[in-house]
């Protein structure tokens, strides 16, 4: 079994490679992902039936969420965005045009009342650095989403929210080095469509 040190080193090296691959994605692929996510917001059963959906405001190198957010809001969904306070992450309501606050980590985030329970969300769209074909996700390393949804790892029955990554195909690998605290995805959306995963590690 690989040691914790070797797993950490492998993840660090792989994260660097995947960040480079994400930055290298061209405008055509970005537009394809915008179209794919917008289409799935209208057509895929998980998103079509969802009433409350959380997503994120994408940074320049991340999978874009601009059209996805507009589509979800236009479809009458209650849309939420993450707000980071210290080492914790919460979700607050999103309204287009609302005032945003700059965060030291580089993103902007909304003001507003916190969602009282994660189970009130039907779907969460997550950013990521990389993913594998088993549904494992690699983030930037801050652990905010893993901490937020850590109870999923202790539950044999997790009805909602569905956790869906948003990424480019260039961010896919066959197998990620996984740590015990990593929370897996239910599916990933790329420019090629949506891929669901079985809930196993």
Q: Is 197 annotated in some ligand binding site?
A: no
Q: Is 15 annotated in some ligand binding site?
A: yes
Q: Is 193 annotated in some ligand binding site?
A: no
Q: Is 56 annotated in some ligand binding site?
A: no
Q: Is 176 annotated in some ligand binding site?
A: no
Q: 146 near 126, Cβ under 8 Å?
A: no
Q: Is 191 annotated in some ligand binding site?
A: no
- Burial label for 72, CB within 10 Å (0-12, 13-18, 19+), is buried
Structure tokens at 100: 């945003």
Q: Is 168 annotated in some ligand binding site?
A: no
Q: 120 near 78, Cβ under 8 Å?
A: no
Determine the Cα–Cα distance for residues 114 and 126; give it in Å rounded to an integer: 18
Q: Is 90 annotated in some ligand binding site?
A: no
Q: Is 99 annotated in some ligand binding site?
A: no
Q: Is 48 annotated in some ligand binding site?
A: no
In terms of C-beta distances under 8 Å and separation of at least 24 residues, what long-range contacts does 26-31 make, across chains too? 29/168, 29/170, 29/191, 30/64
Q: Is 144 annotated in some ligand binding site?
A: yes
Determine the Cα–Cα distance for residues 86 and 175; give it in Å rounded to an integer: 31
Q: Is 13 annotated in some ligand binding site?
A: yes
Determine the 3-state secondary structure of 72 from DSSP.
helix
| Annotation: binding site for substrate | 57, 62
| Annotation: binding site | 11-15, 57, 62, 137-145
| Annotation: binding site for ATP | 11-15, 137-145
């Amino acid at each position: 079994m690989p040691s914790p040190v070797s797993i950490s080193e492998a993840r660090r090296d792989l994260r660097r490679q995947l960040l480079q691959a994400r930055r290298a994605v061209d405008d055509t692929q970005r537009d394809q992902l915008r179209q794919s996510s917008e289409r799935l917001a209208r057509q895929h059963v998980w998103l079509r039936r969802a009433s409350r959906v959380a997503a994120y405001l994408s940074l320049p190198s991340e999978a874009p969420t601009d059209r996805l957010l507009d589509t979800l809001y236009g479809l009458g969904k209650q849309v939420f965005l993450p707000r980071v306070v210290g080492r914790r992450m919460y979700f607050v309501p999103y309204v287009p045009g609302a005032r945003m606050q700059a965060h030291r980590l580089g993103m902007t985030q909304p003001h507003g009342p916190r969602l009282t329970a994660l189970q009130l969300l039907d779907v969460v769209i997550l950013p990521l650095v990389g993913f594998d074909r088993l549904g494992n996700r690699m983030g930037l390393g801050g652990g905010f989403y893993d901490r937020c949804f850590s109870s999923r790892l202790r539950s044999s029955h997790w009805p909602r929210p569905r956790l869906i990554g948003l990424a480019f195909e260039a961010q896919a690998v066959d197998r990620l080095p996984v740590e015990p605290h990593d929370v897996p995805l239910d599916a990933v959306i790329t420019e090629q469509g949506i891929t669901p995963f079985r809930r196993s590690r």
